[in-house]
Amino acid sequence: MSCLATTSLIPMPTDPAWRTAMGILAAAGSMACWVFTSLSFTTAGKRFGSTSVNVVRSVLAALILVAVVWSIGDAAFPFPSDSRLWLLGVSGVFGLAVGDQLIFSAFNRIGPRITLLILNLVPVLTALIAWPGLGEELAPIAWFGILMTLVGVGWVLADGQPPASERDGYSRPRLGLWLALFGVLSVSIGNVLAKHGMLVPSVSVEGGPPQTEVGPLVAQEIRMLFGAAAIVLLLGFARITGQAIGTPPTDVPEAMPRRSTAMAVLLLGTVLGPILGMILFLYSALLVKLAVTTTILALTPVAVLPFNRLVDRTPITRRALAGAILGVIGVTILAFAEPGKVDPSASQPQGSVPPDQPLHSMP
């Protein structure tokens, strides 16, 4: 396996306090990327529709990642030859393909606000799966921080919005709820498999080279290639069966952006979200517990508020502001629930790199 596969490109601290700080900062950076990505994809979706945006951004992100890895390394596909390749690949299918399509289908049936409210369960379900799967047990105060964050984000998302029903123009809302819940499950499974796939395997190949972690860059390349392939297959199956996936382009001419503008923001969103945003997410996941990383990302709807105010002139109500403050307090509690007890090897399988040794080999 190429040394690039184990390269983080960002220093991997070994001190527990620094690991926590860097993990939180990386998660916050990923959230910032997804704020701009959500605005970019929303704008592009008004012109091309969400399904076309999803396919184009996935394939484009995969091609860009292959080009980047090839340009800075000695191979375009420096993948591990053990089970981690399949763990990362399956995580891409669950997290980037199946999860996204289930969520897009839920958007059509129950609307964006209710779907996003249900997606707030991702940190909780990820934490529950990571507990036995990765040994990432959380203290009671950490669970309290997660609860505060999700309640705060829920206030923001539900602010002034009545529940969706068939009278609102959404079809089969009960099915939409199930689709959103299965989307949450799929994304959560993808998160845990992604972290597991980056860690050192518990069983080494006899006579083979020393086993090391898979860096976030190559990990995301694997996930994006598998995910893009799965998305194309799912779209083909949907068209054969006549199933509608995602939302169509807007039918309001005044709201439709120019083609050049839509293509530009689509490219920007692809670079910031599936590439940079996900690399920072995976980097954070290597440093802190997945519950911390996913809860910080759950604040994305809160962080979007000031941009909606500037772009769409959407007012920020007192309820939304209170929810935002509550969410930030919750993340703060979660982040510092166990500041001195973070064990970088706690979630690694037996036989992984000890915490006092470098976790990544640099080229």
Which 3-state string (H, E, C) describes 229-279?
Answer: HHHHHHHHHHHHHCCCCCCCCCCCHHHCCCHHHHHHHHHHHHHHHHHHHHH
In the predicted structure, residue 208 carries a pLDDT above the cut 60: no
Count other C-beta atoms under 10 Å from residue 161's C-beta. 12
Conformational region of residue 162, where left means phi above 0, alpha means psi within -120 to 50, and beta covers everything else: beta
Is residue 147 assigned to a domain? yes
In the predicted structure, residue 6 carries a pLDDT above the cut 70: no
Q: Where are the alpha helices (DSSP H) in the chain?
A: 16-48, 50-72, 83-92, 99-110, 112-119, 122-134, 140-158, 173-198, 216-241, 259-270, 278-287, 290-297, 300-311, 318-335
Is residue 311 assigned to a domain? yes
Residue 130 or 356, more confident: 130
Token output for 200:
């050192």
Residue 10: pLDDT band with limits 50, 70, 90: low
Is residue 151 assigned to a domain? yes
In the predicted structure, residue 354 carries a pLDDT above the cut 60: no
Q: 132-174: per-residue pLDDT in tens? A: 999 888 889 999 999 999 998 888 877 655 555 444 445 557 8
Tell me the average pLDDT across 202-212: 49
Is residue 192 assigned to a domain? yes
> Each residue of 273-282: b (16+ CB within 10 Å) or e?
bbbbbbbbbb
Domain span at residue 77 reads 15-201+213-250+271-335
Closest CA to 54 of 89, 88, 95, 104: 104
Tell me the average pLDDT across 222-235: 93
Percentage of the chain lying above the pLDDT 90 cut: 35
Is residue 35 assigned to a domain? yes
Is residue 104 assigned to a domain? yes
Conformational region of residue 64, where left means phi above 0, alpha means psi within -120 to 50, and beta covers everything else: alpha
Q: 312-345: per-residue pLDDT in tens? A: 666 778 888 888 888 889 888 887 775 544 444 4
In the predicted structure, residue 298 carries a pLDDT above the cut 80: yes
Residue 252 or 72, more confident: 72
Tell me the average pLDDT across 17-27: 90
Q: Please state which of the ranges 19-23, 61-65, 66-70, 116-120 shows the lowest mean pLDDT.
A: 116-120
In this structure, which amino acid lies at residue 212? T
Tell me the average pLDDT across 221-227: 96
In this structure, which amino acid lies at residue 34? W
Sign, CA torsion 242/245/250/256: negative
In whole angstroms, what is the distance from residue 296 CA to residue 281 CA? 10
Burial bucket for residue 13 (CB in 10 Å: 0-12, 13-18, 19+): middle
Whole-number pLDDT of residue 271: 95
Is residue 348 assigned to a domain? no
Is residue 284 assigned to a domain? yes
Highest mean pLDDT among 191-195, 213-217, 298-302: 191-195
Whole-number pLDDT of residue 309: 65
In whole angstroms, what is the distance from residue 82 CA to residue 86 CA? 8
How many structural domains does the chain have? 1
In whole angstroms, what is the distance from residue 195 CA to residue 284 CA? 10
